[in-house]
Amino acid sequence: MSSVALSLTVGIDGRSYMVDTSTWIDLSLPITDRATVRAFHLPPASFVPFRMGSFIGSVEEGGPVRCDVVTLAPHGDGTHTECVGHVGGKGYSVLNAIDVPMMVAEIITVPLRTIADGDRVIMPDDLRAAWRAARTDVLIVRTSPNDVLKKTVDHSGTNPAYVAIDAMQVIVDRGVRHLLIDLPSVDREEDGGALAAHKLFWDWPAAPRTDKTITELIYVPDTVADGLYALALNVAPFDGDAAPSRPMIARYV
């Protein structure tokens, strides 16, 4: 790809930013039937050739084309974006939650703290220390340490890290509409169905925010510095509460 700068008017006070389109960085973890990140004991994605009569959708088995029937659980198989329908049910769709193709996003890096019960969480003071802006429409959170094992770990049954409820309050207070994070969930794996951080973010059930999303199980490489980036969220058009997504960022020049 050639190095071309594209002038975009994005997000912050209507100002125009130059984006180098040769520097797009993929933050997604793929949906695959091979070893990849998983969570919540959900089954891994499967890709099975379609068969009907003499037709088989497998080149390897002698068919004319590959034509797979794909089964997946978005919340546990790779990077996904979810809307208020995750806690609110079928009346809400992720299709309606994103209204612009590109946004200004701030990347911050925060440590995980171990609290009294042994859980690892993101704490509010660490958010405030890493987060320069008073208000941010799109926040991308990279947790530290940032081991590459994040790309392939099965989080199921491991009580993975999550966002402390008072840290989520900071995120809400600073106006975040789209939150991207490298954890399997903003809530504890086993919380009795409370999902307190999810519900706080979407103001559920008091005043459901249909224009807000959470993207989980991303991976931000260490080569990406904290700061402002252009973000293309790239959510698959699934009419459900969550869909596979491929967030990509580009540097400003």
Domain hosting residue 183, numbered range: 5-34+74-251
> Is 86 inside any structural domain?
yes
Does residue 223 lie within any of the structural domains? yes
Question: Does residue 157 lie in a domain region?
Answer: yes
**Residue 45, in any domain of the structure:** no
Asked, for residue 61, whether it belongs to a domain, the answer is: no
Average pLDDT, the chain: 92
Please indicate, yes or no, if residue 54 is contained in any of the structural domains: no
Domain count, the chain: 1
Q: Among 2-6, 29-33, 134-138, where is mean pLDDT lowest?
A: 2-6
Whether this prediction's pTM lies above 0.75 is answered by yes
- Structural domain contains residue 40: no
228-253 burial by CB neighbour count: b if 16+ within 10 A, else e? bbbbbbbbbebebbbbbbbbbbbbbe
Q: For 151-210, what is each residue's pLDDT tens digit? A: 999 999 999 999 999 999 999 999 999 999 999 999 999 999 999 999 999 999 999 999
The answer to whether 99 touches 105, Cβ cutoff 8 Å, is no
Angle at 237 between CA 210 and CA 213, to 5 degrees: 30
Closest listed residue to residue 78, CA positions, set 145, 179, 152, 143 = 152
For residue 69, what are the contacts with CB-CB under 8 A and spacing of at least 6? Answer: 47, 48, 49, 50
Cα(250)–Cα(10) distance, integer angstroms? 13
- Asked whether the bond before 205 is cis by omega within 30 degrees of 0, the reply is yes
Residue 103 pLDDT > 80, yes or no?
yes
For residue 86, the domain's CATH number is 3.50.30.50
Task: Say if 57 falls within a structural domain.
Answer: no
